[in-house]
Chains A and B, each alone.
Chain A
Amino acid sequence: MQYKDYYKIMGLSRDVSQDEIKRAYRKLARKYHPDVSKEPDAEAKFKELGEAYEVLKDPEKRAAYNQLGANWKSGQDFRPPPNWDEGFEFRGGGFTGGDARNFSDFFEQLFGRTGFQSADTGRHYGEPLRGQDSHAKIHIDLEDSYHGATRNISLSTPEMNAQGQLQVKHRSLNVKIPKGIKQGQHIKLAGQGNPGVGSGQAGDLFLEIVFNNHPLYRVSETDVYMDLPVTPWEAALGAKIKIPTPESVVELKIPPNSRQGSKLRLAGRGLPAKTPGDFFVVLQIVLPPATTEHAKAVYQAMQQTLDFNPRQFMGV
């Protein structure tokens, strides 16, 4: 088991006041809250922060934790010394805060898991109880929505064992991705949520669809966008060129006198749906590099023959 330095996690020194701990928590919680933060590891950071605060906000737990000494380093292998918690009273149902099932082994060793069952108080033992609905995100590729697919997802579900202790169970599910599914839509799998207690029914599983970033395509609702590099002469003279789409390679006609950033629409080639989305090609004109004498000569010929001032509207 690894030692966790709760002070370091919260960026505090060991002698701060309870008020300072609270202020630091509020500030970091805003920074790392998974609903607000765009930091890539926000969720893990937020969990760690919650655990640190759970200990440090409670003067008793904090005192017990401090008693372990300041010489431990984060990540160091750790065993609690025998009777380390003598004289403290938090064992046996002391803590109630956050989502304690997410806390680390380190926390569990020190402060036990007694808080878990507090949610059940007032319920008669043995009474069947419907399992909770659970939620997960499922990441798919854009192509999966075009063609439909089967995706495998791994889930970690907390389950009560025969002794009434919570255990995290890992399982894997194959899920059919229906054709035309959109970003942010949910798939509901009845009975695949958390198991019920006693003869209670299992809950449902809600999967939120998230599209992976695609190197070529961008999606907005049912419309799909793609940047298409073209040469200046293709844009100026018009051309027929082959382009990729998520379905197949198609031939696209570029009208003469097309400008940088023009959008060409391929109706109905966006995400499939009752009213399918459109596929938009955004033209990106790429200039050939003037690195050879020959290329320079071509640019010079343009300079001499074309009377072109792109800054005319600026009045200079």
Chain B
Amino acid sequence: MNSHDLLLIYTGTIIEDDSLTLGQLCRACGVNADWVISLVEEGIIEPEGKEIHCWHFSGANLVRVRSALRLQRDLGINLAGVGLVLDLMEELENLRMQLKITGDVT
């Protein structure tokens, strides 16, 4: 018997496309709300909902916020630059995916 078999099995919740509030997102990334608001103002992340108190964020937003944080901290890029980097990275990712689907790259 594997030692893993003795451990409890944890069941988590899936973060759906719009399941994080501003507060939860800030807590999950260890940042303050002002900073997240400035990301939204810069168009780096786009929450669902019009007013701040009904904003909802996706799991993909979570990844972007954490990347933005690291890029700003480690490379000293301003928010406009962070937005540009993230958009270009996303485009690159999509192109790589396309290549994979057409089967030219393994």
Contacts and interface: CB of A to CB of B under 8 A. Distances in A.
Interface of A: 26, 29-30, 33-36, 46, 50, 98, 132-133, 135, 150, 152, 172-176, 178, 181, 184-190, 192, 203-208, 213, 218, 220, 225, 227, 282, 284
Interface of B: 4, 7-15, 27-30, 59-60, 62-63, 66-67, 70-71, 74-76, 85, 89, 97, 100-101, 103, 106
Contacts of B71: 33, 35-36
Given A29-B74, A34-B70, A206-B28, A189 B8 contact: no
A35 B59 contact: no
A184 B59 contact: yes
Given A35-B89, A176-B10, 11 more contacts: A26-B76, A29-B75, A33-B71, A35-B67, A133-B30, A174-B8, A175-B12, A185-B15, A186-B62, A187-B12, A207-B12
Given A175-B12, A176-B12, A206-B28, A218 B7 contact: no
A172 B13 contact: no
Nearest to A191: B10
B70 A33 contact: yes
A152 B3 CA distance: 11
The 6 closest A-B pairs by CB, nearest first: A187-B12, A186-B59, A186-B15, A189-B12, A176-B11, A152-B4
Contacts of A50: 74
